[in-house]
A = this chain, B = another copy of it.
Amino acid sequence: MTENDKQTEEKIFEAATDVFVEKGMDGARMQDIANHAGINKALLHYYYRTKDHLFNAVFEKIAGQLFKKFAPVLDENLSLEEKIRFFFREHIGFLQRNPRLPSFLLNELNRNPERIKKLIQSIDINKLWATLEKQHKEELVKYNITRETIPQLMTSIAALSVFPFAAKAIISGIMEKLGYDFDEYIEVRKKYAADFVIKAITK
């Protein structure tokens, strides 16, 4: 009963996640989601009244997942370099398991900027900088990191991790042509990106 409820509700949710992530809100079809879940449209609407409801549920879960990956890195008890390496290993690892999330999220956010305010509430850059300053006071002098350049640095780190997946279609196409494998390229990238950033910020 309640067990069963959750089973099918989850089946629906997972199917919806797959379809929305692949096709986007506009491209997704309720019938397609029902098929993926192995049920019929009537039951789909029985659980989620409208496409919007379903989409919002999916979107918020996904957005939460991706952003939560960023935050706790700074709290680890590691040196700055180790944190950077840790971040790329974990974050790229997460994206390996969810390669289509970046493209999906970036696109839906660009189309619907209202969604962003909610997400941004959870990010407090001032606090982030405070943590960084406290934990790495002595270390920071070795690096070209100032309060002014933090946005540039943060977005650069995000870019190096996220972009290969956001542009996966093109990059894997080029890789294939060169006889390389996208998955290998990504595996190598965990270290390359970390080295790249550390080198770039070291005085």
Contact = CB atoms under 8 A, between A and B. Distances in A.
Interface string A143-169: 000000101100110111011101111
A129 B189 CA distance: 20
Nearest to A195: B200
A94 interface: no
A119 interface: yes
A26 interface: yes
Contacts of A192: 149, 152, 156
B167 A158 contact: yes
Interface of A: 22-24, 26-27, 100, 103, 106-107, 109-111, 113, 116-117, 119-120, 123, 125-126, 149, 151-152, 155-156, 158-160, 162-164, 166-171, 173-175, 177-178, 180, 185, 188-189, 192-193, 195-197, 199-202
